[in-house]
Structure formats: C-alpha cells, structure tokens
Amino acid sequence: MTSSSTTPRPEIWPTLPYEAWQDTCATLHRWTQIVGKFRVAQAPWVNHQWHVTLYLTARGLTTSPMPYADGRQFEIDFDFIDHELIIRASDGAERTLPLTARSVADFHAAVLAALAELDIHVRIHGTPNEIPDAIPFSEDRTHRSYEPDSAQRFWRALLQVERVFKQFRTGFLGKVSPVHFFWGSFDLAVTRFSGRSAPRHPGGVPGLPDAITQEAYSHEVSSAGIWPGTGLGYPAFYSYAYPEPKGFRAAPVQPEGAFFHEALGEFVLPYETVRTADAPDDALLAFLQSTYEAAANAGSWDRTTLECDFGEPRVPRAI
C-alpha cells in the first residue's frame, strides 16, 4: 500500500494530548517491548545497553538488522504511516502484520508465528521491563488499544526531537550515546559522559535486574530525553545527572517553563512549551544545553576538553 501523494503535509511539531491517547500509548509501549526483546536475545552486549534500543526511521521505528544462528540477519520495523509491522530476513523473505487494535497477547502470538514462518525461532523473556505490576505478554488481554492517528503523531514528534537531539550531540567530543529509543522506559534519549566512573547505582527499577541498571550507570552521565506522558500526565522533556552533583538542582536553566521536578529528581520541560514556542528547535536546544551545563559545572567536568561547536553539514571540525 502506497500513501497518496495528495495527502496534506502534517504539522511539524504535532499536538500530543496524553489523556486522549494514553490507552494506545500503554499498548504500544508493550508492543515495542516485545520487538525490542529480540535485540536483547540476539545482539551482543554493548555498554550501557546500547545494543537493545530501537531507532527512528522515515516511517516509524526499527530494530536494525539482528544476527540469527544460521548466518542470516533479520529486522523488525514499525511503520506508522501504513500502520504495519514488517519483519524482513536477509534471504529476501518477509512477513507483514497490520497494526490495529488487538491485545498484547494476540500481538505477541502473531509476531512469534510470523517469525516461525520465516524459520526464525528466538526465545525472548516474556514479561515487560520497567513497568510496575507487569502482566506477561502472553497473558495480557487488558492492553488492546491502537488509535492510528495518535501513534503516528507520537512518531512524528519523535522525528523532530531526534533531529534536534542529533544536532545537540555534535557539540561533544567525549563519549556520547547514539540518539536511540529505549523501549523499556519508552523514551527517546541521548547521553553524554564525563569520562569518570560513577558510584554503584542502587538499582530498584521495577522489572529490571539491579545488575543491568548498575552496568547502565557505571560512569558519570548527563542524560536527556522525552517521555510521552507516562507518570506525568503530559509529554515532557527531561534531563538528569548521575550521580547528582551538589548544586545541580538549583542551577538556572532555560527556556522559561523548565523546572526541577523534586519527585523525579530531574529537570522537566513540557513538550507543549517547545511545540508552541516561536522557535521550537531553539527552545529545546536551550533546555538541553543549559541542563547539561548544570551537570557539567556542578560535577566539575573537563568542559574544555569535552566540548566543541555544533556540527554543520559539509564543514569538517576545525582542529
């Protein structure tokens, strides 16, 4: 199915009223966990769990290619334009499942069946991560909503956020993560590292072994991302430091509307504040830069060594 060329161009920064799509959000969160767990099962471990994430595409989200035991590779894509889940193998075979209202249990069974038709048999952990009181995938008939327009709006918002996050990422010479989608916490994120090791994290994340959390936070970080609204009731950008240095939460940050959320222990900026700003890109970059500076200054990072100007197309970084 090909989308019509006469379809009106959607708004660049779409509205994301969480209350209107929270049921779809909860279902889609669990669907992405099912797909993401194939990366856990197949991809070699990379520091800070970078091997498990999903990535934005021009149509949705992808696992990117994953190795299989017989030498083939396969990938699983969410297409939020035609609303399909597409499984492709490197031998040319593929299967497509419609993204439509169905339970998590039915989605889980359909994905496993489609993979089996491609002679791909992978055992995944059957319970969601980072969700309190999670229902095993094969038993979850509670979450069954899928509203196509809402899912597409969320993805289109992520595309804009990813673009700005990638620009922000270019201004750092030290270790920095890709811009990637963590299906466990259902957020798009980018993380900078000071280069120093961190105190052992206490763990305690619901549905996540402490050893995984401790490996993820083995080194000092300043991390930023976007949540769709879970736990807050509205979509928002966040920024935190681990470990939190003294003075971090009292630092002035931009733009107007950003604040330190005491319960979360993180800086927060409502998505709507960015979306409705005169220059949304500038507003988001101001939040990313000012909260990073709050972490780097309070934590005595070697900013002179770690930072550089933002990158420009076709312009090599001056040495």
Decide the pairing of beta strands 180-182 and 236-242. Answer: unpaired
- Nearest residue to 260 via CA among 244, 274, 276: 244
pLDDT of residue 6: 56
Per residue, what are the HEC states of 121-149? CCCCCCCCCCCCCCCCHHHCCCCCCCCHH
Residues in a beta bridge with 17:
none
SS3 178: coil
Contacts of 105 (CB under 8 A, 6+ apart): 137, 138, 139, 140, 141
What is the rounded distance in angstroms from the CA atom of residue 215 to the CA atom of residue 198?
Answer: 10
What are the start-end ranges of the H helices in 170-226?
A: 210-216
Contacts of 316 (CB under 8 A, 6+ apart): none
- Nearest residue to 289 via CA among 244, 241, 248, 254: 254
Residues in a beta bridge with 60:
79
Adjacency order of strands within the sheet including 180-182: 180-182, 187-197, 219-227, 236-242, 266-270, 259-261
pLDDT at 74 over 50: yes
Q: How does residue 181 score in pLDDT terms, banded at 50, 70 and 90?
A: very high
Residues in a beta bridge with 317:
none
- Nearest residue to 162 via CA among 234, 61, 254: 61
Average pLDDT in the 239-260 region? 98
Q: What is the pTM of this model?
A: 0.95
- Reading the block at residue 118, the tokens are 């491609």
- Reading the block at residue 35, the tokens are 């797909």
pLDDT of residue 197: 98
Amino acid at 241: A
Mean pLDDT (the chain, rounded): 96
Q: How does residue 4 score in pLDDT terms, banded at 50, 70 and 90?
A: very low
Helix (H) or strand (E) holding 94: strand 94-98
pLDDT of residue 10: 76
Higher pLDDT, 207 or 112: 112
Average pLDDT in the 183-203 region? 97
Tell me the backbone φ, ψ of residue 251, rounded to 5 degrees. Answer: -70, 145
Average pLDDT in the 26-37 region? 98
pLDDT at 5 over 70: no
- Nearest residue to 189 via CA among 198, 197, 179, 199: 179
pLDDT of residue 296: 98
What is the rounded distance in angstroms from the CA atom of residue 266 to the CA atom of residue 31?
Answer: 27
Contacts 24+ apart (CB under 8 A), 131-140: 131/29, 131/30, 131/206, 131/207, 132/206, 132/207, 134/206, 134/207, 135/104, 137/30, 137/33, 137/34, 137/104, 137/105, 137/108, 138/105, 138/108, 138/109, 139/105, 140/30, 140/103, 140/104, 140/105, 140/108
pLDDT tens-digit series, residues 217-245: 999 999 999 999 988 999 999 999 999 99
User: 94: phi > 0 → left, psi -120 to 50 → alpha, else beta; which?
Assistant: beta
- Nearest residue to 259 via CA among 286, 238, 229: 238
pLDDT of residue 7: 60
pLDDT at 15 over 70: yes
pLDDT of residue 139: 98
pLDDT of residue 198: 98
pLDDT of residue 92: 98
